[in-house]
Chains A and B, each alone.
Chain A
């Protein structure tokens, strides 16, 4: 029973991790909480849904295209709402991010209406048991996709030139620029990658819960952020760990309290982390230079 809960938590947690990665990467390079990230996740889900049901594309292609187009959306959002404010105060860019979030969500509401759409996987889903644990192909696919993404990201960040550029910009934007790094392009790529991960999460969650709706990004967005903070904001492995931990704690919380308080668990964790260990589980303490 306990192990079953953990497995469920692992599955949701892996989606939180994918969302959290987008937050943490953007925070790393821009010190910005991208409030619109939850909406990017939602747009990914919608794109995936439309590609599968309307365009009738095979699943792998639909997933990749959804990720790609959402990556583009992320880049556009950065260009419109954040780049003009690169030199402005943190408050300004945070407000702009909030505005973007509301804008995208309500545009989606305008286009698609508030009703929840069904997202049936375009492949057969078989349930089976491993020992005493019940699961199905969809859940395992979710775990597989998430794992693949995380491994891919890790390789990207540690082995490629782009990854190095991202780490450089995250540490010291001006010096990176002086060293010849194209900061604008690096930041755009960061948004693109983070957004594509969120899109993948959106598609998988859409199918897991058989529900896609314009407001589906709000809670997961906030929870993804909580996961990022839990793991140490700006710290990529931390986002992965934070997501998984949050998923499992949430499931346990629901088992112990009740499902009505499910969302409150995430916020309670957030507040506790912010108060007692703001650098997160894996993050490093940073001092403001005076």
Chain B
């Protein structure tokens, strides 16, 4: 069925744009997942590309050395990256903001250097020969799933805990939130999706090199999230789209500028932080127009009984037109 959809898409999208859309999709998944950690939980994460690398190389090795199929390798890559997320997260997420950022950077670099020095991963020559099994419908499906899962997570008890940690970690602890556990959870979930994105990357570009997963890539992902809005999932998709497509576009129109895109990324980060720290779409505590609309309906609070609530008594369901979906 996906092949049918793929045939359909290829019939009216030329190969050049097809490839760009695939890359945009992969970057959207990376940006969404990074946003969970940095935008929603407020933990500056400078090593996201490393989790992508773990996923990419896991998939690549499974495909080339173990003959494992695409449908197994991709989730396996996600799980491998998630495991890495736990391993890295547990010790480092006890650290405070700036130290955490540097620790994630350090881990990212250690992963890159390790990949560079191991024979099994091909070292500096990289890993080749991965079959091309990613296509646009698969990427679109992955993006939709990632978006749906993350949005649901964010609009839940877990999501509230993460934002509470971002807003005031000490107060969050006092409200009964095990902050380390939740930070590690966010980190692990983000790592999972980064690993999946890495696997999709591997099965598209067919060749992996450690230099594709360095600190700069983590920074580019951060720029996408910041640009679109920390704590805004739609914004991350927008940021990923713009910042993936724009350099490509510039390359055709003004090649000199395209080569210097990092100059603009750098300046962009500074300028966005100063002028519009909430990014293009801003930080919203409720995501998306659907939720905003629902929130306006809910802002008429249910009719409360007269008198103070008795604590400890579970409230009976009240009327109030609430759809119920969180």
Complex: A in contact with B (CB within 8 Å):
yes
Q: Are A95 and B273 in contact (CB under 8 A)?
A: yes
With A99-B267, A103-B263, A274-B99 in contact, is A93–B106 under 8 Å at CB? no
**What's the nearest-Cβ distance from chain B to residue A1, in Å?**
25
Is B82 part of the binding interface, using a Cβ–Cβ cutoff of 8 Å? Answer: no
What is the number of residues of chain A that contact chain B, defined by CB distance less than 8 Å? 45
Partner of B113, one of A85, A264, A271, A274: A264
Which residues of B lie under 8 Å from residue A31 when comparing CB positions?
Answer: 98
**What's the nearest-Cβ distance from chain A to residue B172, in Å?**
13
Q: Which of A88-133 contact B (CB under 8 A)?
A: 88-96, 98-107, 109-110
- A268 CA to B44 CA, complexed, in Å: 20
Q: Are A100 and B266 in contact (CB under 8 A)?
A: yes
With A80-B270, A99-B273, A274-B92 in contact, is A106–B42 under 8 Å at CB? no
Which residues of B lie under 8 Å from residue A267 when comparing CB positions?
Answer: 106-107, 109-110, 113
Q: Are A222 and B105 in contact (CB under 8 A)?
A: yes
Name the residue of chain B whose CB is nearest to the CB of A276. B91
Name the residue of chain A whose CB is nearest to the CB of B166. A91
Is A55 part of the binding interface, using a Cβ–Cβ cutoff of 8 Å? Answer: no
**What's the nearest-Cβ distance from chain A to residue B286, in Å?**
21
- A187 CA to B226 CA, complexed, in Å: 27
Which residues of A lie under 8 Å from residue B38 when comparing CB positions?
Answer: 91
Is B69 part of the binding interface, using a Cβ–Cβ cutoff of 8 Å? Answer: no
Q: Are B44 and A91 in contact (CB under 8 A)?
A: yes
Q: Are B267 and A33 in contact (CB under 8 A)?
A: no
Which residues of B lie under 8 Å from residue A54 when comparing CB positions?
Answer: none
Which residues of A lie under 8 Å from residue B98 when comparing CB positions?
Answer: 31-33, 90, 94
Q: Is the interface of A mostly helix, strand, loop or mixed?
A: helix
Partner of B102, one of A107, A225, A263: A225
Q: Mark B77-100, 1 if CB is under 8 A from A, else 0.
A: 000000000000001100101110
- A109 CA to B216 CA, complexed, in Å: 15
Q: Are B269 and A92 in contact (CB under 8 A)?
A: no
Is B76 part of the binding interface, using a Cβ–Cβ cutoff of 8 Å? Answer: no
Is A278 part of the binding interface, using a Cβ–Cβ cutoff of 8 Å? Answer: yes
Q: Which of A35-59 contact B (CB under 8 A)?
A: none
Q: Mark B247-270, 1 if CB is under 8 A from A, else 0.
A: 000000000000010110111111
Is B117 part of the binding interface, using a Cβ–Cβ cutoff of 8 Å? Answer: yes
- Residue contacts A-B, CB under 8 angstroms, 12 given: A32-B98, A84-B274, A85-B274, A91-B44, A98-B222, A103-B270, A109-B260, A264-B114, A267-B106, A270-B103, A271-B110, A274-B99
**Which A residues contact B (CB, under 8 angstroms)?**
31-33, 80-81, 84-85, 88-96, 98-107, 109-110, 218, 222, 225, 229, 260-261, 263-264, 267-268, 270-271, 274-275, 278, 288, 290
Question: Could you list 5 further interchain pairs (A-B, Cβ under 8 angstroms) beyond the known A81-B274, A271-B91?
Answer: A80-B270, A95-B44, A99-B223, A274-B99, A288-B170
Closest 6 CB pairs of A and B: A99-B269, A103-B266, A102-B266, A99-B270, A267-B106, A106-B263
